[in-house]
Structure 1
C-alpha cells in the first residue's frame, strides 16, 4: 500500500512539474501559427547594439514629456547575454548634462518601418517610483495624433500590470471613447508583449493571450478613428523617468533597467 501511495505521489509530482514547465515555455517562446510568417527578428546576439544599422538612440526633446530625460550617454546602452539593456539613472555629472535623471531609448526611425502585421517583444522591466518604460509605434510621416500611435506596453512605477493603448485624432477628441486596456504581468520576470494590426482591428497580447481588440468603425472614417494602416510605423523602446502621467521620481541608487531579449516581426 505504501509503495502504491509513493508511486502515486511521484507521478503527481512529475505531472505538476511538467505542467509548470509547459506554462513557462508558453510565456517564453514566440507565438507560432500557420497564418504568420516570421520576416524579421533581432535577438541581440552581438556586442554592438547599433551594428545592424536598424536602431538609433532617441534624442532628447525637453518640450516632450516622454522624451525630456533621453541621453546618448554610453552607460545607458548595453548588450549582455543576448539582451538589449536600456537604463535610467540619477545623473552624477550635472556640469555635462543639467537633467537630474538620464535615460536610454532606441528606435527604428529612418531605418526600418513595419507594415501591418504582428510584432512581439520579450522583455523584463525593472521598476522604481517614477519609472515609465514603454514599447510603442509611431507612423512614418504623419504628425501626432493624426497618424495614430500604438502602445504595445507602458508600465508605471512598480505596477504588476501594463497599459496597452491606441491613440488617434478621434481618441483625443472623444475622451470617453474606449481605446485601451490593462493586463497583469509577472513584474519580476520576462513577459511577451504583442500587437497585431490590419485594416480591421488592432489586437493586443500579453504572453500570447489576447487582451484587447480595437476595431475599425467605417462610419467614423472622416473623423480619423482608424489611421493605423495609412502608412508604415516605426518601433520605439525606451526608459523614461518622471512625467505628468507617472509623476515625480523618488531618488534611487541603482540604475533601473529594461532587458529586451528579442523582437520579432511577422506577416501573413
Structure 2
C-alpha cells in the first residue's frame, strides 16, 4: 500500500515520535581518550540491518552447554537493528534447528528442538582483540528465566578447550526482578554479574565472579547502563557505569594447559572475540531465584545501544599504562 498526501505526513510524524520514544537517551561518559584509551572498533547499530562485516549470527539449538532452552536463529523475529539499537529477542515458540554451531558441529550435524527462540551475534572469525577496554551500553530484560550476556571467548584455543583457554564475562543479568532473599531494595534480583572462567576441564574448572547492584538499588532492566571491562597483562577489572566492582589479578587465575608454562598471564594473554546473546533458562537461571522459566517473562528483549573497543595508545602490547 502506498500512502500519500496528508495521511502520509501524519504517518511519518507518528513514526518519528515512535522512534524518539524508543531510542535510548545518551548517557554522558567521560571520553576514554582522556585516560589514554583509543577507539579501535565500534558498532553504534545506526544502520538498517546488522552489519555482517562485524557480526555473524549463531544458528544453533544446543543450549550453550548449560541446558538452555533456546534455538538461536538468524531471523528478524530474533535479531533486529531498529532505532539505533541491536535488539535480541526471545520468544516462546517451538523450533527445530541445527544442534550445534559450525565450529563444534558433528558431521552430519543433527537437528534439535527447543521450546524458545532467541538471538546471538558474534565477532568470531572477523574481529578479536588482546587487551583493551570493551564497553557495552545496554538495557537488559527482566523476568525469571531470562539470561542476557555480553562476553568474550578466545579467538583460538591456544591452551585447549573450555575453560583452559579462558572466558571473560563482561555482563550477565540473570532473572532480573525475580524474588531474591539476598538482594536489597525490595524489588527482587537487581544484581548483574561479571566473571572469569579458567582452570582445567570440568569438573576441575574454576571461576572468579562479582555481583554488582546499582547505587540506588534500581533494577538494571529499568534503564540503559554502561558495562565495561578493562583488560591488561595480568590485570582485569569490571565496571558498571564507571564504578569498578570486580578486580582480578593473574595470581587469582591459571590454566591447566602445559602450553602455559612460562606465561604467567595465561590464559588471558591471547586475542578474544565478542558475543552478545539472550539465553532462556539454563542451570544458572533455573536453579536460582524463583526457579525454572516463567512463561510471563516472554517475549523478552535485550537492547544494546552500542559496543566499543578501545586499546591503550601508549601501551598496546600490555595495556597496563591506561589502567590507572
TM-score strictly above 0.5 = yes
Given that 1:201 and 1:215 are in contact with CA atoms closer than 8 Å, whether structure 2 keeps it comes out as yes
Given that 1:86 and 1:238 are in contact with CA atoms closer than 8 Å, whether structure 2 keeps it comes out as yes
Specify every segment of 5 or more residues in structure 1 that has no aligned partner in the other structure, as ranges.
1-23
Please report the TM-score for the alignment, with normalisation by the length of structure 2.
0.67
Given that 1:107 and 1:237 are in contact with CA atoms closer than 8 Å, whether structure 2 keeps it comes out as yes
Given that 2:145 and 2:174 are in contact with CA atoms closer than 8 Å, whether structure 1 keeps it comes out as yes
Alignment counterpart, residue 257 of structure 1, candidates 276, 281, 301: 301
CA distance in 2, matches of 1:222, 1:92: 40
Aligned pairs, number: 241
CA distance in 2, matches of 1:127, 1:233: 28
With CA pairs under 8 Å and 6+ residues apart, which has the higher RCO, 1 or 2?
1
Please state whether the residue corresponding to 1:238 is helix, strand or coil.
strand
Aligned-pair distance for 1:262? 0.4
Specify every segment of 5 or more residues in structure 2 that has no aligned partner in the other structure, as ranges.
1-24, 98-110, 177-188, 215-219, 287-291, 313-324
Please report the TM-score for the alignment, with normalisation by the length of structure 1.
0.80
Trace 1:1-268 onto structure 2 (pairs within 5 A).
27-29=27-29, 31-32=31-32, 33-51=34-52, 53-62=53-62, 64-65=65-66, 69-72=70-73, 73-91=75-93, 98-142=113-157, 143-158=161-176, 159-169=189-199, 173=204, 179-185=208-214, 186-217=220-251, 226-247=265-286, 248-252=292-296, 254-268=298-312
CA distance in 2, matches of 1:30, 1:238: 27
Aligned to 1:9: none
Aligned-pair distance for 1:59? 2.4
Please state whether the residue corresponding to 2:284 is helix, strand or coil.
coil
Could you say what the CA RMSD is over the residues aligned between the two structures, in angstroms? 2.9
Aligned-pair distance for 1:229? 3.5
